[in-house]
Amino acid sequence: MLKKIQFLLPLALPFIVYLLFEGGLALYPVNIFSQISDQSYFLPLTFVLLIGLFFLIHLLMPIVTQKFWKCQSLKGPIRQRLDALCAKANFHCRDIKTWGVMDHALTAAIIGIHPRFRYVLFTKRLIREMKPECIEAILCHEIGHSYHRHLLLFPFILGGMGICGVAASYLITYSFDFFIGSNIFSDMQEYLYDATMFVAYGITALVYFRYVFGYFSRLFERQADLHIFNVKLNPSHLIEALNYFAQSSGQDPRKPDWHHYSIQERIDYITVASKHQNLIAIHHSYVQTMLYIYFGCFFSLLLLFFS
């Protein structure tokens, strides 16, 4: 239970800091925001302040996170190999560490958007059980996330969930105004409105997270897999690592994964890409196009809400 708390607490840190920030403003003798609430730049200013706070948290959070997760610097010959790979890939991070609270898992991760606050984490089990060549391939995958700036993009992808929630709230508000204006549901207006809003937010979040966030997560994971070709490592080592993940977990490699693709799909794509490397550029171009479309919608809705 303690390890679960240690794992989850850093993930809740941005929300905790935001609540403290909001509470601090409420305690301030003069409510700064109330002084400008009637001016047209209130919402944009609020948005900019929240984005600034978010990026500050996002920048510094890895330092706190790796402390909570009981991470320790990786030592020994494998560290020398991984450092050499980082130099080859022109990748910089503050440290490569073992992931204390995830001791019994077979996984790795990268946290931090800036090299001075960036860490690559491997579980001790992964270091213990996998061949050095496979560990290098996994590091290459994590480097791919950094190279394609996925850690910077993911918060914006998640931010779209809030925008969709606001859009849903507008739709519900207008619908209630119409019905209540016709004296329908007027006796239970407040309770019905709150319940409907709660359900709508929940459904919006679930659908968005599953289909929009999950879609981009799969695209990003494939980009990270393909980074092994950029670094010019043997892709067979990444395939071997993926096969080992499947065997160790006892799961069917063909089992669909909503945010990674199935292991078999990943292996098949790497295999085909090793023979037809034009697929690599095609996939990166496709991801770029999808991001342009997403951010076009994202900022259009922001402008619409602020206008």
How long a stretch of residues is the chain?
Answer: 307
253 vs 77: CA distance, rounded Å = 31
How confident is the model over 158-183, as pLDDT tens digits?
Answer: 888 888 888 887 777 777 666 655 55
Read off the pTM. 0.86
241 vs 228: CA distance, rounded Å = 13
- Asked whether 70 and 101 are in contact (CB, 8 A), the reply is yes
Q: Give one DSSP letter per residue of 234-289, joined into a string.
A: -HHHHHHHHHHHHHHHT--TTS--TTT--HHHHHHHHHHHHH-THHHHHHHHHHHH
CATH code for residues 69-129: 3.30.2010.10
pLDDT tier at 192 (50, 70, 90 boundaries)?
confident
Query: Lowest-pLDDT range, 18-22, 59-63, 260-264?
Result: 18-22
- pLDDT at position 80, please? 97
C-alpha distances in Å from residue 181, one per residue of 171, 271, 291: 15, 62, 41
Stronger pLDDT, 149 or 161, i.e. the higher one? 149
How confident is the model over 10-52, as pLDDT tens digits?
Answer: 777 766 766 676 666 556 555 555 555 455 555 566 667 667 7
Domain definitions of the chain by residue range:
1-51, 69-129, 150-306
Helix pair angle (132-147, 214-231), 10° resolution: 120
Q: What is the mean pLDDT of the chain?
A: 86
